[in-house]
Amino acid sequence: MVSSGRHCLTVQMVRELSPRLAAIVDALPLRPGLRVLEIGGAPGAAARAVAQRLGPGGHILVIDRSATGVSQIERLAAAEIQRGVLSARCVSAEDFCLREGEAAFDLAFAVRVGALDGRHPEAGSIARQRIRAALVPGGPLFVDGGDPLRQVRLEAPDRAW
């Protein structure tokens, strides 16, 4: 059992991708070599499946605002992290920005993250601007709630950070 606070799940649940997340990973327009950003991706189940499809030239960064969640990713995706195909960072979508010298991402996705699925509109607006700034021009953001995904419009920044 991997258990801490609200993040409580069996190792089995993380190792085996659920049908829900498998359908989402299948629906992403992935190809080898892409740089992918997942928002709110703890404990890393979908990210590990994505990393498999990106091959050695690609990379997925998973951000999550929960330090516990990030620790779980680091533990459960240790092999992918060691191979350099996956990394994890503790930051909220609303505060996220590329680090100095960090390449932009080709696409982003988020599953069951309140700021991006319409549950928290104000946080969502800030988060979408942050994500847009971290993507290559025209890079898409996909969220759940479609069939199974929908693409979200990314508006231009309207405020200084």
Which residues are at the interface with ligand SAM (CB under 6 A)? 39-42, 63-66, 69, 92-94, 111-115, 127
- Helix (H) or strand (E) holding 134, with range, is helix 121-134
Phi-psi region of 129 (alpha: psi -120 to 50; beta: other; left: phi over 0): alpha
Closest CA to 127 of 82, 104, 159: 159
Q: Which is nearer to ligand SAM, 41 or 139 (CB)?
A: 41
Question: In a 10 Å sphere around its CB, with 0-12 CB exposed, 13-18 middle and 19+ buried, how is residue 133 labelled?
Answer: middle
Q: Which residue is nearest to ligand SAM (CB)?
A: 40
Give me the least distance between CB of 160 and ligand SAM, in Å please: 20
**Contact by Cβ (8 Å): 39, 109:** yes
Looking at the Cβ atoms of 140 and 148, the one nearer to ligand SAM is 148
Among residues 35 and 65, whose Cβ is nearest to ligand SAM? 65
Nearer to ligand SAM, 33 or 53 (CB): 53
At its nearest, how many Å lie between ligand SAM and the CB of residue 88? 11
The least distance separating ligand SAM from the CB of residue 25, rounded to whole angstroms, comes to: 11
Residue (of 89, 86, 1) closest to 52 by Cα position: 86
Q: Give the nearest distance from C-beta 42 to ligand SAM in angstroms.
A: 4
